[in-house]
Each structure stands twice: as structure tokens, then as C-alpha cells.
Structure 1
């Protein structure tokens, strides 16, 4: 039982069928043997073939592809044929009775080159296969229906100008979608349609080459080529495609630079500053880019060293700049010979001639009216600070640089000499002092001198005079700092209690040398001595021990300091030495004041006299308070009247007035200081409270009374009533009790005061306290 697969052109032609049917080797031999012996067909399985169908079929009827037939089919209609696989029923159909295969659609080999299908013969009644299923291929046969295409086009290419003939420019490539294995449909050849005679293309490779020698970019720098690709090896009936190629000639340095003129002329003002641009010249070069870069240089002329020329990298101009100041009166013109040359030279074109050119440049100097010029821009002078007013310091000089030779007048720019220390003679330029000088205030004067043309005052020259004030020994030495010296009560003799040094505003050339000593009045004192250390310092030493604050809390030691100047100057500086209670390590804990020493020297009678003066002061101020403060009608100043209503609070009022100046000074050495009392003189406290109290400072007390008396004498009017506050100087717990009138029992009106109602007993107690038997002596004392 066999199935025979016949191609359309196999019918009636065994030879063609044999050549086109690739049989399996197992069945090939018996099939060929049977052909050689007789025309009988031997029974075999599938005989399969490859079908061919032309692409792009355009007929109205389905295209016949081939026929399937099985030996089982007796033609009685019991066998039907079935087709499966790619395109079955959609593209390819089979007549189930006859086995004829047709293509129902137009096929395109470029979309799909072959289709694989499966054929089977089945029993029509049972639908069971009567033959095994077998595969076969329908191949779409190519026709020349695709033209060549340049997928990378259009092209852009570059080639150097002046390239030799045959220089490769670019390779173009065309592709053809037709079958390259079947016929000539995909075999392409190239030709040039536009671009001759400058360029050519190789037919097989598509390489574009130059066809003319010495193509000059400066004459034409771009060409447009049209290249054609044709299939069928270029034969008649072949399809073709084209592309464009834009060829640009790149520059080579085949042109030298050239000046447009052989000579140039420029005018230059003589006042032009150094490094200024004088002129610009430019040579022309037909090349571009680096091939047009040029260098300029001066090769000849009388302007060498006065001018220089350099190339501007952006514009390729020759920039001429000034190197030295010009002077019309000295030289009025210059001549330069300038050469220009290419920076990058191509050796291939040196035979054409030198790649350089020259031109002459004439520079004419123009006269400009110039300001005067000082012979020395900076004049340094010196003058002693002891110089008298009018002393000549030095002379400045300026000249007119122009040919007019105008006279010069001099003056000082007072913005640089605000205090007018100096004068200058207008016609001679002589500088002299106008005021006494002080080196310690200003050691250097930097003044500007103006030189003005008499014929043209708008032309002003400037010079500088640097005047140094020379030092003389006119300042005496003084203490370097304000010393605060403490002396412990337990100090022994020969102890250094302070080391002093000095300063001097002067600056002697050889440095300072100070000499220390005690003044003649204190040289023989028994308390302290001075030792000059010969290194600009001195030591203060004790001559004895056993200092007591109760005896004297403050010592004033005059120290004489002399410098080494000529003449030598000296000054007396007082060193204050405070006696202190010190801890075992020698650290001051509590120091007395000078006022303490003063109070110790007052007698009891003097103290009582001071109290009496205080009473008289209070009475006087009370009486003055009786004067009316309201002016009469003739003296009415209306809104100018200032009314006061500030009633004092007495002893307990610590806010309305500074209580420190009026409070008693009975300060007990206590770790908790009173908030409302500030000591008049700073006091050092130790960690342990001392067992004694400090008595009132009689010196401060006395000074207070006299200040109040003075205020009352010079005050033209009494203070407002309610602003008068009285205070009593008394210590807390005073055995004399209060001396104040604030506790008076008087109930009289505000104008009636009884100040002395209880003073008699109090003065008697005070007298008894200080040892006076008769209290009547108090006022006499």
C-alpha cells in the first residue's frame, strides 16, 4: 500500500519525477530497479516530494500546487484526504476526494520562504487513517520583486583636498531582499549617476574614490554624488536603487599667509600707558582652523624694545603693544618691519614657496600736554621733633616734560596733612615745619606734594614726601603698670615685697636704660629700701619687721626713675604699700585703708567738734527749708514750676539715696556682708572673722560735713521740702545712743522743728564716753 505525491509538472514524465523526488535510500534501490526492469510499480509506503509554488501569483483562480494519492484509494470514494500544518485551510486547501492541493492566497517569499504540512488518507466511513501521516514541504519560489536598498544612506564623507587620484572616500552598501541562492535576483552592481568626473565607484564593492587630482577646497569644498545599485548583475530588466553621498574636502595647509598691504601707518599719543594696545594688523590665509594659525614678529626697525607684537589666538591678528613710555620731545616716530608666518606648515607644499610674508609699520608719536614730573617720585626726609617752627626739612623738584617748559608751582595736598604740620614754598619746593612735632604722637608723615603748571593749571603732577620725625629724649620714664603692693604684718626685714619696672615713650637708638632710687626725702626711712637690679627693674625690700595695720595701714614710697638719654630725664612715682593680715602662706586676707590710719590720729576733741559742725549744718538746712517755694504772681513762671513730692524714708530708706556715703562705717568682719552697705575702700576678707571692729573713718566723716556746708553756702535756694532727708552717723549699738532728730517727739507743724530737745543728754553721754568730765567743753572743743 503506497501513497504517491506528484508535483504539477511530474504528470506523464517519469524522468522529471525521478530527478525531483529525493527518496529515502531504503526505497530508492527497489524503485530504480523496477524502472530498469519494467514499468511495474512496487508497493511501498509514502513517496514524498517537495512542492514549489511561485510567489506573487496574481491570477483569479487558486494556484494548483500538486496532488496526493494513495494506493488504497480505488476511486470508489471510500478514501478522503486530510491536510494539516502551516497554512492548512487558510492558505492551502486540499480536495478530500481527489487529493489536489491549491494555494488560495498570494504568497511572498520575503515574508515566508516555505511551509511544512502533514498529509493523511482516512477511511471516509470510519475516519480512521488508512495510511500513516507524512510531512512534506511547499517552498515558495523566488522572483525578482525587490530592488536593492541602501540601508545606511544617505552618506556623508570627507577627504583631504589635493588628494591623489584613487583615494578611497567611502564604501556604500546595498542589500536585496530576493533569494541570493536562486538566479541573479540578488546580485548587485554599483554605478555613479552624479559626481563625475570628480569621483568614481567600484561596481562590485561600492567603494567611492577620487577621480581627479588636485581638488582645491578653496575653489570648491563640497560635492554631491548619486550612487546606483542594480540587481540581475546590471542586466536589462533588473531592479535598482540609489543613494546620495555628500563629500566634503577637508583643509590642508597649502596656502601661505599674505598681508593685504605692504605698509601700515598708525598714530600713538605719547601719554599712552605701558602695555596698552597701539595697533592691530592682520594677514589673510585661505586655509582654516589650525592651518590658518599665524605668528607675528618684529624682524627690523628702530622700535625694537619699545614695541612688541603678538598673535591673537581668536582673531589671528597681530597685536602691537607698547613696552616703554613714549616721549614726543625725544622721538616722534618709529618704524617696524613685521613678519607673519604659518604656525603649522605642511612639508608637501614647501616647494610652492615660503609660507610667510612681511609688511612695514610706521608709528607716529602724537604730542600730549603732560603734567609735571617729579625728579624723585618719593622723597625721604628726616626732622627732629625738637625742630622749631619754620625749620627747613628738604626740597622737592618737578619739571614740565613738554617743550613749553612751563613754570611750576608747588602745594601740599592737605588731605594728607590735615593738621598742617608742614608748609612748602610755592616756587622753590622747600618744605618746612609749620607746627611743633611730636614723634610719640606721629612718627612718620606721608604727605602728597602737588606740582602745577603755571601756564595750564589743569596739569597737576603728584609726588610723595615721606618725613620721619627723629626722636629726642623728651619723655621721662614712669612705672610700667599701676602697682598694687601688699605687705604682710608678719613680714621680716630684707624681704622683697615688689619688683617694679618702667616704660618710656622715647625710643633711643641704643635702647632704654633706667636707673631706680628712692627720693632724697625718703632715702633714710626706716621702713623700706630699694635695690636697682641693673636690668631695667628694681626690687622694694623691707628694712624692718613688725608692721601693724592698727598703727599704719598704708605707706607711700616715692621712687625716682631716671633714663639714660641726653639730657637725662627723671620722674618720681609713688608706690602705695598696703599692710595686710595674711595667712600662713603669705596670702593677704584683710587689708586696712589709709582712712583707718587717719582716724587713729584724731583726738577726741576734734571728733566732738566735727559732731557739733554736723548739728549746725542740719539746723541751717532746716531753716532754709522754711523759705516758700511757690513764687508770687509777679514771678509766676506757670508751667515752668517743678513740683517735688519725694518724702525721704529716713535711716531705713536705702533706695531713695546712696546710703553708702552716709551710713556709719562700723563694718564687722562677717562672712555675710550687708546688702545695703558698700565699703568706701575695698577690703580683703579672710576666711575667719577677726575679733575686732573697725571704728568710723573720721576723715570721711569730716569731708562729708564740709562738702555739705559748701553745698549749702553756694546753693541760691533751699531744696524742696519733701526732698530733704537727714541721716545720723552712728554705729550700730553705739553707747552714745542716737544723735538723730528723727526720733524727736515734737508734734509741731512742718514749719516748727525742735532739733536740740534731747541733744544735751546725748552730748553728756558722748563726753563721758571720751573722758570729758564737763560736757560744757564739748562746744568749745
Structure 2
């Protein structure tokens, strides 16, 4: 028995030992192409990664190198293309119990040259560096430094070597984190490392002999920092959410997000969300953070915002995990789940009768929904008692009260109290099957007022025949006092009567005819004629009513042919026709059908056919030549009332027909022109002849040019125009009076210059143009082949191609103009004289001719010496010659 127990213990120890032995995780060695493509499978179902021989099963794989990934079955795959010499990384395997295991992966490229021929012996390549890779746990506790791994090169067999390292963590930040024992190759770490700051380190190891020669290729070293759970998760992103009140249970609200700085895809970052309050209102999915409504009874009116505390814990919510807490806000948005409610169970109001468009009362309501939202705004309606449309309801936008208006006056005598029902609604539909719109009764008391008389009915219809004799009583239209219900003291007056056909008896309201009632009058519409009557009681209150006369027709009109000028298109030997229509303003049976007959003077050239109710076809009985024909027709109505009428029918050749009516063609001039046309042609010919004679006379008659100067010699003094004879100004000695009548002859009649045409003197005086009053203008004068230009001041008249004008020898203005004519001739003479010119082409200042001038001053203010004689014109030289040269320019073109 003892031996069996001892054997069992030995067997159990062996099994456990073998189990422990088989669960040992060895590095994964794999040969790959030197150029490793993306998607390349490094190894499939690696036993070390699948924890073969271990009691636990793997649940997650994490590669330390982002260039590689591991499937759930332990297959290692390259994520992107790489060039491989020697590649080392590790895979972190997490089992079901949460335990993390690390498996080293070592890749080397295949020596393809050694595999080209099967005859070549496969030679085992010896590792040059060992062991690899390295790892260090973050936040390791002292003491430091700590030994990590031994670096060893195969060259140490042949040489005495020492090792050196450089790169990140050695010679670059963080400098001095790793140190190396040069002689032994032991790698050490000098202080704690934070993985969240430095997840891994990459540096280079080199080996040298005693002479300092590098005896082996450098070795890239990667030190992976193993993660420990040293960071608690934190809530990130927005913390404000909203959801409608009364929403269905399970309605999504939002997503709560949290992050953990520890290594991703490990239990260190497996976060669990937990609500710490409001668990009866909301729920959250533990590992996604999706927030949903838990009930359908969320009520904004009870609580419009809910503050929810949330805990986020890593390690999948394990009590040993690290955690943080935060608060989120969930706002409940409003829906219309509360109808407007009335503050009273019965409302009362008062209004005077006959008042219109007045506010009667205000009806306040309460609504728990969001103020100023469509869910809160109330809409009011009179649901009972407003069948006649006498009321309207509005809403005060500020107070949300209902406003009741009377739009049609109420009648106290008919309804002293009006009972209404008011219903309040919202602008949007109501939510919830248990909610309905509410109503409230309202009693409106109508106040009595003294009213004017009222016609009953307001519109009265009276039948009357047209053409009834004047003074005939056709009816009575009375009004009653609403209070006394009688007509005592009421007087009646007409307001409107377009044709003045009716008179109203003031005291009784009787209606009498005042003029002939005519149904065919344009004042009658559809046999109706309107009269407005006003009733006035003793208190001067007024009431209005309307009387509509229904006028009955009488046979007081005969049929008439409106168009008595007709056209028949001649069609050779064919017999043509035309339609004759008649009208009668009367109504049947006093009008159509009409009877058409020929009159007594008919000549037998025509016949009637195709009679209708109001028309007949007039056709030629024999072919007729073109011309105008008179056809007597007798037209009678259904009662035999009618008269004979003459229809003028023109037979002609038609150019066209429009709507069945012929249009005659052009006729000869002898028939087209009347006496007026011939007279117009004669007058036009005579007028044309007169115009031709006038033009001929103008072209053959030539007059001297008129020269008029506004300078009257009075030094700017205006002459009086109302003097009957020359004034004292005319006798001024400064004016020159030129005697003689051979060249000039004139007379003054009624203060106006009278001029006569004379034959032009030898030479052409040219054309004179004057621009505006009192400005200097230029005159062109031709003498022989020379052209002269002179400037002078003239009035605002334009003269051209005109002859000499003779001026009165008694008028100062005429005398001055005559002197101007002589002066102009003298200037022309000196301007044409070639020899003895005193100022060739040189303009001189008027006020100063220069030192030594024999002429002296030629100022414009010099006074004339002998006004009664023209001898001075012959003694002007040499004083006058410079002035002539200045004023005239010879143009020898």
C-alpha cells in the first residue's frame, strides 16, 4: 500500500514536471526572403504562440513591431514590404487568465545562392551575435543598475574583443539609460523607464579587438519596454447629451468615450463603463460606452437636466484595475405632452349691443411645456355659439392669453345672453394617448342700447310693370323701433334712386312712381332696380333698408334692323345673298320669333328665305349689276308689332370676306372723289405754284448786307422807347448826322426803323454772323479777289445775303449805323492799299502806339470833331491807317 502511494506521488510529480516542461515558450526562428513582400506568411500556427502544452488558451496577440501582425490562430504575417538581414521582435500572448507571455521572433534571410544547385552541400551558418532580443519592464523598482542581457559575438573565439553601444538611450535622449560592460558585453539599465514615453529603444552594438579594429558587423539592438498597468482610464470627448422626453426605452442617446495610455489591446486598456446614479432612467453598455434611455417616462417638466456620474475602470472592470470617475449631462428636450389648461371653470364677460370689432375679454391659460416654443403657444377657437360667425379669437404672443373679439354687432332684443365654448390648442399636435385638448364655457352678457329703426325685411322685393302711370303706389316699406316694436314717429327718405323713378311718402313709407319705369333702361340689371331707403326716428337714430323692384316686361319696343347698310359680293351670273338680323329689347313673348316681309315699294328683284327667330336671308331674285339698292322690309314681333324699314344693299366685287361679311374692292376715281376731294386737289396745286414763284423771286433779288451795331453813341445810356419824337439824346453833338438822300433814305414810323431794299453796290459785302448780344464777332467781306476780316461789336441778330438798309436821318441810332457803313467802306479802302501802310501785320495796343508815333493815341474814347460833316473821312491819314491795318487782314488766297 505504501509503495502504491509512493508510485502515485512520483507519477504526479513526473506529469507536472512534463507539463511545466512542455509549456516552456521558445523563440520562433524563421528564414524568409531578403526582400520580404507585404502579406508574406512568416509561420503558420506557431506552437509557442498557440501555447501548446500549456493549460491556458491564448485570447490576444500583440506584436512589438508594427510591420508584423498575428492572427488569432498564431500565424505571423508581414504587414508591409521589408528588406531583411536579421529581424527580431516579440509577440505578447495573453491567455484566458489574463497572464501575459512573451515569445521572441527571430527572422533571417535565406541564402539563395547556396540553394541554386542540389549538388551543393547545405552548410549551417553559425550565429554571429547572441542572445537577442532584449526587454525591460517599465517602472522597475530599485536598485539600479540592473542587468538585462549579455551581448556576445562569435568573433570573441578568435580575438580578444570589447563591446561598445551607441544610439537612443545611450548617446541620445534619454542619454545614459543603458550602459554596457565592455569586456563581458553585459547590458544594464540605469533607471526606471516609462513605456508611455518610450515604448522601445533602438541602438547599435559594435565589437572591436585590442587594436581597435571592428571585427564583426554592427548589431542593431531593440529593447522593448514591457507594459505594466500604471495608467487609469480617462473620459474624453463631449459630456453633454440630449434626448426627447417620453422617448421609447432603448432610444440611443450618445457615446461616452474613454482612453487609457497603457498598451493597447491588453487588459491594461480593457475599459468597463459603469453608471453610478440615474440607473432607473439610463443605461450604458459596459465595454462600448453606448448610452441609451432605460424608460419611456422621462419627463422634462419634472427634471430638464440629469447629471449622471460614470466610472471607467481598466482590467475589464476587475476590482484591481485602475479607474476614474466623471460626470455627463443629459438634457431632456421638450415635446408637446401638456395641453393648455384654463385657470377658471367658467368665464363671464359683457359687451354692448351693435358693437363691432371690439375686444370682449382675455382668457388666460397655463402650459407646462417649454415657454415660447410651438409646444407652449396656444391657439384658441370658439367651438360652440359662433355659428353665425360673430366672434373671432386671437392669441397674445407675449402672455399666451386668448383674446375674444366681437366682429358683428349683437342684438340685445334677440339674445341678451350668448353662451360660448372656448377650446385651447397648441401649434403642434399633442403627444401621448392620455392627453386631449381642453375647453371652457363662457357667458357673454349683451348690454341694451337705444337703437335706430330697423326695416323688416332688410331687403324687400316689389313687383311692378314697366310704363305704369306716374303717381301709382307700388308698395309700402316701413321700419320698426327695436324697443317699442312700432313705427310711431318714424320718417322715411330716399338715399339712392339712380333714375329718380320713385318717391317715398315721408310719414307712411309708401312708394309711388315719379317717372316712367323702363325695363330696357341701362339702370336695370336682370330686370332689377335698386332703391335705398333711410328711416329716422324721433331721437334722430337712423336705419337703412333696400327695395328691389322686379320690373315686368311689356311690349313697348318694335324689332329694329341695326345694320341697314349691307354688302353683297357679286359672283357673276350666280345669285348672291346676305343675312339680315333684327333685335328687340323686349323679352319673349314680346320679341322673337320675328316675321320678315317685303314692303309695299318692293320691286321684285329680291326674295327672302331661311327665316330664323331673329334673322332672314335676303337673296337676289335676278342677277343685278354693281350698285346701291334700297330694299323695304317689314319686321314684326310675335305680337304683330312692327314697322317698315329700308335696308341699303351694295352689290360690288369683293376683295375678301371677313366673318361672312364682304369687303368691296377699290372703285374708280370718278366715283371715289366727291366735291371735297376735287377742291382739295385744286388748292394743293395752287399752293405749290405759289411756293415756286416765291422761291424764284427770292433767288433773283439781291439786297445789300445789313449792318447793325448796338453802340448808339450814348455811352451806354438806354434810349426811352415811349417817346413820340426824338429826345434830347438825339441832339447830342457826338452823333454824326449824315445829310443827303441819294445813298440813304429812311423815315421813322411809330418809333420803328423802316428799311427799303436797294440794288447792291458793286462788290460783295459777304455774310455777317452775330453770336449773342454785345460780343465781338467777325465779318467776312469780299472786294474783288481779296477777302477781308473785320471785328466789331454788334447786337444779337444774324444777317446774311441781305441788301443795304436805309435808315432814318432823324434817328440817332440810324445815324450812327449810317456812319458805321461809311467807316466800314473807308476801312476796306485802306485795307486794300498796298503802299504806304503804316503797320504791316503788327498789332499795337490801342492805348499806346509807341514812342514817337505821329498818330498819337487812338483810344476808343476820342470825341468826333465835326458831327455835321463827313469831311473827316478824307483826313484820317495817317492816324486812321494803323487802325485800318489792325481791323482788316488781307487774305490773298
What is the TM-score normalised by the length of structure 2?
Answer: 0.46
Question: 2:354·2:410 contact (CA, 8 Å) conserved in 1?
Answer: yes
CA distance in 2 between counterparts of 1:253 and 1:539 reads 83
Give the CA deviation at 1:150: 0.6
CA distance in 2 between counterparts of 1:397 and 1:48 reads 131
Question: 2:391·2:406 contact (CA, 8 Å) conserved in 1?
Answer: yes
CA 454–295 in structure 1, closer or farther in 2 if over 3 Å, else same: closer
Question: 1:477·1:561 contact (CA, 8 Å) conserved in 2?
Answer: no
1:109 aligned partner: 195
1:179 aligned partner: 263
Q: Does 1:473 align with 2:556?
A: yes
Give the CA deviation at 1:232: 8.0
CA distance in 1 between counterparts of 2:281 and 2:621 reads 121
Question: 1:422·1:435 contact (CA, 8 Å) conserved in 2?
Answer: yes
1:245 aligned partner: 328
Question: 1:270·1:327 contact (CA, 8 Å) conserved in 2?
Answer: yes
1:427 aligned partner: 507
Give the CA deviation at 1:109: 1.9
Moved more, 147-156 or 47-56: 47-56
CA 447–59 in structure 1, closer or farther in 2 if over 3 Å, else same: farther
Question: 1:94·1:102 contact (CA, 8 Å) conserved in 2?
Answer: yes
Give the CA deviation at 1:472: 2.5
Question: 1:79·1:124 contact (CA, 8 Å) conserved in 2?
Answer: yes
Please list the CA deviations of residues 241-270 of structure 1 after superposition, one character each: whole Å capped at 9, or x if unmatched. Answer: 442222446779998976423332112444
CA distance in 2 between counterparts of 1:137 and 1:271 reads 103
**Corresponding residue SS for 2:232:** coil
CA distance in 2 between counterparts of 1:595 and 1:189 reads 119
Give the CA deviation at 1:451: 2.4
Please list the CA deviations of residues 593-641 of structure 1 after superposition, one character each: whole Å capped at 9, or x if unmatched. Answer: 9999xxxxxxxxxxxxxxxxxxxxxxxxxxxxxxxxxxxxxxxxxxxxx
Question: 1:390·1:434 contact (CA, 8 Å) conserved in 2?
Answer: yes
Question: 2:451·2:541 contact (CA, 8 Å) conserved in 1?
Answer: no
Equivalent in 132, 154, 158 of residue 239 of structure 2: 154
Please list the CA deviations of residues 358-393 of structure 1 after superposition, one character each: whole Å capped at 9, or x if unmatched. Answer: 865322122245454433444444544433333444
2:491 aligned partner: 409
Question: 1:563·1:570 contact (CA, 8 Å) conserved in 2?
Answer: yes
Question: 2:130·2:152 contact (CA, 8 Å) conserved in 1?
Answer: no
CA 469–501 in structure 1, closer or farther in 2 if over 3 Å, else same: same
Matches within 5 A, 1:280-679: 281=363, 284=366, 286=368, 326-335=410-419, 361-403=442-484, 407-414=489-496, 417=498, 419-442=499-522, 443-444=524-525, 446-457=529-540, 459-468=542-551, 470-475=553-558, 477-478=560-561, 480-484=563-567, 496=575, 498-499=577-578, 501-510=580-589, 511-519=592-600, 522-523=601-602, 528=605, 530-531=607-608, 535=612, 536-537=615-616, 539=618, 541=620, 557=630, 559-564=632-637, 566=639, 568-573=641-646, 575=648, 653=686
CA distance in 2 between counterparts of 1:74 and 1:378 reads 137
Question: 2:245·2:297 contact (CA, 8 Å) conserved in 1?
Answer: no
Question: 1:150·1:173 contact (CA, 8 Å) conserved in 2?
Answer: yes
CA 515–291 in structure 1, closer or farther in 2 if over 3 Å, else same: closer
Question: 2:179·2:190 contact (CA, 8 Å) conserved in 1?
Answer: no
Please list the CA deviations of residues 53-83 of structure 1 after superposition, one character each: whole Å capped at 9, or x if unmatched. Answer: 355799999997654233644898x535465
Matches within 5 A, 1:85-234: 89-91=171-173, 97-98=182-183, 99=185, 101=187, 108-116=194-202, 119-123=205-209, 127=213, 129-130=215-216, 136-143=221-228, 145-156=230-241, 158=243, 172-179=256-263, 186=269, 218-229=301-312
Question: 1:391·1:433 contact (CA, 8 Å) conserved in 2?
Answer: yes
CA distance in 2 between counterparts of 1:101 and 1:562 reads 142
Please list the CA deviations of residues 305-346 of structure 1 after superposition, one character each: whole Å capped at 9, or x if unmatched. Answer: 999999989999778788998431133124568799999686
**Corresponding residue SS for 1:653:** helix
Give the CA deviation at 1:517: 1.7
Matches within 5 A, 1:37-56: 46-55=129-138
Question: 1:195·1:225 contact (CA, 8 Å) conserved in 2?
Answer: yes
Unmatched tracts of structure 2, length 5 or more: 1-22, 32-125, 656-662, 673-680, 691-893
CA distance in 2 between counterparts of 1:206 and 1:529 reads 110
**Corresponding residue SS for 1:575:** strand
CA distance in 2 between counterparts of 1:270 and 1:473 reads 51
Give the CA deviation at 1:496: 4.9
Give the CA deviation at 1:177: 1.0
Question: 1:272·1:326 contact (CA, 8 Å) conserved in 2?
Answer: yes
**Corresponding residue SS for 2:235:** coil
**Corresponding residue SS for 1:243:** strand
1:727 aligned partner: none
CA 185–333 in structure 1, closer or farther in 2 if over 3 Å, else same: same
CA 339–214 in structure 1, closer or farther in 2 if over 3 Å, else same: same
Give the CA deviation at 1:516: 1.9
**Corresponding residue SS for 2:129:** coil
**Corresponding residue SS for 1:140:** strand
Give the CA deviation at 1:555: 6.8
CA distance in 2 between counterparts of 1:202 and 1:539 reads 104
CA 65–159 in structure 1, closer or farther in 2 if over 3 Å, else same: farther
Higher relative contact order (CA 8 A, sep 6+): 1
Question: 1:162·1:216 contact (CA, 8 Å) conserved in 2?
Answer: no
Moved more, 201-210 or 456-465: 201-210
CA distance in 2 between counterparts of 1:341 and 1:650 reads 90
CA distance in 2 between counterparts of 1:307 and 1:433 reads 39
CA RMSD of aligned residues (A): 6.3
**Corresponding residue SS for 1:150:** strand
CA 84–514 in structure 1, closer or farther in 2 if over 3 Å, else same: farther
CA distance in 1 between counterparts of 2:557 and 2:197 reads 118
Please list the CA deviations of residues 627-662 of structure 1 after superposition, one character each: whole Å capped at 9, or x if unmatched. Answer: xxxxxxxxxxxxxxxxxxxxx9999526589xxxxx
CA 474–331 in structure 1, closer or farther in 2 if over 3 Å, else same: closer
CA distance in 2 between counterparts of 1:223 and 1:369 reads 65
Give the CA deviation at 1:149: 1.0
CA distance in 2 between counterparts of 1:381 and 1:404 reads 23
CA distance in 1 between counterparts of 2:666 and 2:316 reads 129
CA distance in 1 between counterparts of 2:272 and 2:653 reads 126
Please list the CA deviations of residues 677-715 of structure 1 after superposition, one character each: whole Å capped at 9, or x if unmatched. Answer: xxxxxxxxxxxxxxxxxxxxxxxxxxxxxxxxxxxxxxx
Question: 1:387·1:436 contact (CA, 8 Å) conserved in 2?
Answer: yes
Question: 2:535·2:543 contact (CA, 8 Å) conserved in 1?
Answer: yes
CA distance in 2 between counterparts of 1:162 and 1:556 reads 97
